[in-house]
Structure 1
């Protein structure tokens, strides 16, 4: 998020694009044939890009992930994201530029989200500085951010019915909450407090507090001190099964604003939803790295 709270960006690299209808229709047999670098910008002139690409678009090394014309690489302690994508309908336009993520520290935390370890959350860097430089008016700014990852060996909707997640920057570092309802009837209620040096402490989460439903009437909740009513302060992504927003809450007496996500996997697994998603997630099965827009090694 930008320092003034008016703009934000999210970038997600997928190998096995879990929210792609094309990957679901393929039977999820070949994750490397459904890859994507999803970029969404929020605020004036915001765009959404999510192109499902085939295996010819994927290149990997120890410190670089390239998917078609876009890439992520570690260089001198920073994550550098080179973006060259096309926005989804109805805002079809090029989204191009660079995002630089500078972690305060890298954590050693790894959390199993399911008892058998089939789903894992890895908060690599909950405290980061970011610099955004996109080729669009108003999209040169600095702010705070985070870097994490999820890994899994089964479809999310096979093991979960819903979850909410939030990362909130604090004066001392950042606090994250992960709440999930599993299909076996059990639940996850996780709170982690990170300091700027990357040390983590598991905490007892404060009580759940309801947020107003999203534009698609998605039920939402987060964590807050008793009696405090959290609120959305910046809308981001709003879909029938998923909502991302900047949310203000109060934790241990500190008023904080962070990124909150709510995911309804009962809705996501509905067959009627996949054709709707295909309108926003185009499939481009073939890619040649000798094309003019292919990224140069950095």
Structure 2
């Protein structure tokens, strides 16, 4: 999924630049500068998308978690809860709200390590909870629930019951976890042949919560048809 050539990527201890977009750690918060073009299908006019996002963590978590026994894939939730500020220049929009900040890193492509995964995050009255599960490339299964307290300290907790979800419009299998084994899809934000990201209503640890959920099918991602389609949504162009 590299839409930029290697020469357009620059980084150091506090900065990451990809093309004309960049992010930097500025004291106690993350600043993201966006300078891109949209990639709407069947529209030859790629409009400018530009603005700034600021992510203010409520607390920082130092612990990373391996997603496979060989530790080829590492997940790190830096800020389970955060305050965000969005100021877009093009289009002219701005808003603020609550957010979350994590990243994955690895020594091999995702499609080599995983067939599928399902991830979800919900803010609680204090802290947050993240559920992670899926099938690795060797067919083994993994599943965990991690709860973060108000200081972003992490602890493994018992997995809530499986809550099946309807397939996305592209027929991507989705699932999540809920205390009552039931969850409702409120909105689907991203719906692609191999990935879906949605907003759910569910119940966790005695609380009615709004959950952000994603499902990823790396077998579909690696298929020749999807690989042929990707450049039309993520053009490989110099900055």
TM-score of the two chains, using structure 2 as the length reference? 0.94
Matching residue within 180, 192, 204 for 1:251: 204
- Find the counterpart in structure 1 of residue 125 from structure 2: 171
How far does residue 198 in structure 1 lie from its aligned partner after superposition?
1.1
What residue in structure 1 maps to residue 12 of structure 2? 61
Aligned equivalent of 2:149, options 195, 202, 205? 195
CA distance in 2 between counterparts of 1:178 and 1:250 reads 16
Residue 68 (structure 1) shift: 1.5
Native 8 Å contact 2:117 2:135 kept in 1: yes
Pick from 67, 71, 88 the counterpart of residue 39 of structure 2.
88
Other-structure match for 1:222 = 176
2:97 is aligned with 1:143: yes
SS of the residue aligned with 1:185?
Answer: coil
- Separation (CA, whole Å) in 2 of partners of 1:53 and 1:183: 27
Deviations 1:240-275 (A, max 9, x none): 110011111111221111211000112111112111
2:229 pairs with 1:266: no
1:2-151 correspondence runs (5 A)? 20=1, 34=2, 52-90=3-41, 92-136=46-90, 139-151=93-105
Give TM-score, length-normalised by structure 1: 0.76
- Flag the 1:191–1:140 CA change in 2: closer, same or farther, 3 A: same
Aligned pair partner of 1:282 in 225, 235, 238: 235
Secondary structure, counterpart of 2:108 in structure 1: coil
Query: Structure 2 CA distance, aligned partners of 1:263 and 1:137?
Result: 29
Tell me, which stretches of 5 or more residues in structure 2 are unaligned?
Answer: none
Tell me, what secondary structure is at the counterpart of 2:229? Answer: helix
CA distance in 2, matches of 1:207, 1:65: 39
2: distance between equivalents of 1:246 and 1:93? Answer: 27
Measured against aligned partners, the alpha-carbon deviations of 1:116-157 in whole angstroms (never above 9, x if no partner) come to 001110111111110111125672111111111101111212
Paired positions, count = 236
Secondary structure, aligned partner of 2:176? strand
Could you tell me which runs of 5 or more consecutive residues in structure 1 were left unpaired when the two chains were aligned.
1-19, 21-33, 35-51, 288-298
Are the counterparts in 2 of residues 69 and 83 from structure 1 also a CA contact under 8 Å? yes
Instruction: Tell me, yes or no, if the aligned pair for 1:120 and 1:150 is still in contact at 8 Å.
Output: yes
Give the SS at the match of 1:279.
helix
Q: Is the 8 A contact 2:10 2:16 kept in 1?
A: yes
Q: Contact 1:212 / 1:231 at 8 angstroms: preserved in 2?
A: no
For 1:241 and 1:64, locate their aligned partners in 2 and report how far apart those are by CA, in whole Å.
Answer: 30
